[in-house]
A and B are shown apart, each in its own frame.
Chain A
Amino acid sequence: MTVAVRPRIRGTVGESVERPDGAPKVRGEFEYASDLWIQGMLHGATLRSPHPHARIVSIDTAKARALPGVRAVLTHADLPNEETFGIMRSDQYPLARAKVRFLGDPVAIVAADDVRTARDALRLIDVTYEALPAITDPIAALQPDAQPIHDKGNVIDAVHLVHGDPSARADVEVEGEYEVGMQDQAALGPEAGLAIPDDDGGVTLHIATQWLHEDRGQMAQCLGLPEEKVRLVMSGVGGAFGAREDVTLQIHLCLLALATKRPVRMTYGREESFYGHVHRHPARLFYRHGAKKDGTLVYVRATIALDGGGYASSSPAVIANAACFAAGPYRVPNAEIWSVGAYTNNPPSGAMRGFGAVQTCFAYEAQMDKLAAKLGMDPVALRRMNALEDGDHIITSQPVAGSEPVSEIIRRANALPLPPAGHRSALELPGGAGNLTQGEGVVRGVGFAAGFKNICYSHGFDDSSEARVRLERDADGPIAYVHTAAAEVGQGVVTVQLQVARTELGLERVIVENADTTIGSAGSSSASRQTWMTGAAVKAACDLVNAELDGRARDRGIPRERLADLLDTPVEHRITYRHAATEPRNPVTQNHGHVAFLFAAHRASVDVDLGTGLVKVVQVATAQDVGKAINPVAVIGQLEGGIAQGLGLAVMEEVILKDGAVKNASFTDYLLPTFLDMPPVVADLIEHPHPDAPYGAKGVGEPPTISSTPAIVAAIRAATGRALNRVPVRPDDIVFGTVALSGWTIVAGMDPRAATRA
Chain B
Amino acid sequence: MRVPLTVNGAARAAEARDGQSLLTFLREELELPGSKNACEQGECGSCSVLLDGALVCSCLVLAAACADKTVETVEALADGETLHPLQQAFLKAGAVQCGFCTPGLIVAANALLQRNPEPSDLEIREALSGNICRCTGYGKILEAVRSVASGRA
Spell out A's residues near B (CB within 8 Å): 16, 18-19, 21-23, 25-32, 34-35, 37, 116, 186-190, 236-241, 267, 269-270, 424-425, 427-428, 433, 489-492, 633-634, 636-637, 639-645, 666-668, 672-676, 678, 680-681
Could you tell me the dominant secondary structure of chain B's interface residues?
loop
- In the complex, which residues of chain B have a beta carbon less than 8 angstroms from the beta carbon of A186? 134
Give bound CA distance, A678 to B75, whole Å: 29
Which of B46, B135, B137 counts the most A-chain CB atoms under 10 A from its CB? B137
Q: What are 15 pairs between A and B in contact, CB < 8 Å?
A: A19-B94, A26-B83, A26-B91, A28-B74, A28-B103, A30-B99, A188-B133, A238-B99, A637-B94, A640-B140, A644-B134, A667-B38, A667-B132, A675-B128, A675-B142
- In the complex, which residues of chain A have a beta carbon less than 8 angstroms from the beta carbon of B124? 675
- In the complex, which residues of chain A have a beta carbon less than 8 angstroms from the beta carbon of B12? none
Known: A189-B100, A633-B94, A634-B94. A427 touches B126 (CB 8 A): yes
Give bound CA distance, A433 to B131, whole Å: 16
Contact indicator B34/A641 (Cβ below 8 Å): no
* B92-141 at interface with A (beta carbon < 8 Å): 92-94, 96-103, 106, 122, 124-126, 128-141
- In the complex, which residues of chain B have a beta carbon less than 8 angstroms from the beta carbon of A34? 36-37
Contact indicator B122/A28 (Cβ below 8 Å): no
Q: How many residues of B contact A (CB 8 A)?
A: 55
Spell out B's residues near A (CB within 8 Å): 17, 27, 32-41, 43-44, 46, 73-75, 77-78, 83, 87, 90-94, 96-103, 106, 122, 124-126, 128-142
- In the complex, which residues of chain B have a beta carbon less than 8 angstroms from the beta carbon of A237? 98
Contact indicator B137/A25 (Cβ below 8 Å): no
Which residue of A25, A28, A672, A673 contacts B73 across the interface (Cβ within 8 Å)? A28
Contact indicator A667/B39 (Cβ below 8 Å): yes
Distance in Å: Cβ of A191 to nearest Cβ of chain B: 12
Which residue of B75, B94, B129 contacts A675 across the interface (Cβ within 8 Å)? B129
Distance in Å: Cβ of A60 to nearest Cβ of chain B: 29
Give bound CA distance, A491 to B97, whole Å: 6
Given contact pairs A37-B33, A240-B98, A644-B138, enumerate 11 new A-B contacts (beta carbons under 8 Å).
Answer: A27-B77, A29-B34, A35-B27, A187-B100, A189-B98, A236-B99, A238-B99, A239-B98, A270-B39, A427-B126, A667-B43
- In the complex, which residues of chain A have a beta carbon less than 8 angstroms from the beta carbon of B46? 188
Which residue of B35, B39, B44, B128 contacts A28 across the interface (Cβ within 8 Å)? B35
Contact indicator A490/B98 (Cβ below 8 Å): yes
Known: A26-B102, A427-B122, A676-B126. A640 touches B138 (CB 8 A): yes
- In the complex, which residues of chain A have a beta carbon less than 8 angstroms from the beta carbon of B43? 666-668
- In the complex, which residues of chain B have a beta carbon less than 8 angstroms from the beta carbon of A636? 94, 139-140
Shortest Cβ distance from B127 into A: residue: A675
Contact indicator A25/B96 (Cβ below 8 Å): yes
Known: A23-B83, A238-B36, A675-B131. A633 touches B97 (CB 8 A): no
Distance in Å: Cβ of B113 to nearest Cβ of chain A: 15
Give bound CA distance, A640 to B142, whole Å: 12
Q: Which 5 A-B pairs have the closest CB atoms?
A: A28-B34, A490-B98, A25-B99, A640-B137, A238-B100
Give bound CA distance, A707 to B44, whole Å: 27
Distance in Å: Cβ of B102 to nearest Cβ of chain A: 5
Distance in Å: Cβ of B107 to nearest Cβ of chain A: 9
Give bound CA distance, A22 to B136, whole Å: 14
- In the complex, which residues of chain A have a beta carbon less than 8 angstroms from the beta carbon of B90? 22, 26
- In the complex, which residues of chain A have a beta carbon less than 8 angstroms from the beta carbon of B142? 675
Give bound CA distance, A679 to B139, whole Å: 8
Distance in Å: Cβ of A506 to nearest Cβ of chain B: 25
Which residue of B77, B78, B103, B129 contacts A676 across the interface (Cβ within 8 Å)? B129
- In the complex, which residues of chain A have a beta carbon less than 8 angstroms from the beta carbon of B40? 269-270
Give bound CA distance, A644 to B91, whole Å: 21
Give bound CA distance, A360 to B115, whole Å: 47
Give bound CA distance, A642 to B134, whole Å: 9
Distance in Å: Cβ of A33 to nearest Cβ of chain B: 10
Contact indicator A27/B74 (Cβ below 8 Å): yes
Which residue of B33, B37, B100, B132 contacts A674 across the interface (Cβ within 8 Å)? B132
- In the complex, which residues of chain A have a beta carbon less than 8 angstroms from the beta carbon of B94? 16, 19, 633-634, 636-637
Contact indicator A35/B33 (Cβ below 8 Å): yes
Which residue of A19, A27, A239 contacts B78 across the interface (Cβ within 8 Å)? A27
Contact indicator A26/B129 (Cβ below 8 Å): no
Known: A187-B98, A676-B125. A640 touches B87 (CB 8 A): no
- In the complex, which residues of chain A have a beta carbon less than 8 angstroms from the beta carbon of B135? 239, 490, 637, 641
Known: A427-B122, A640-B139, A681-B139. A490 touches B99 (CB 8 A): yes
Distance in Å: Cβ of B99 to nearest Cβ of chain A: 3
- In the complex, which residues of chain B have a beta carbon less than 8 angstroms from the beta carbon of A644? 134, 136-138
Contact indicator B44/A489 (Cβ below 8 Å): no
Give bound CA distance, A433 to B32, whole Å: 34
Give bound CA distance, A19 to B17, whole Å: 38
Contact indicator A490/B97 (Cβ below 8 Å): yes
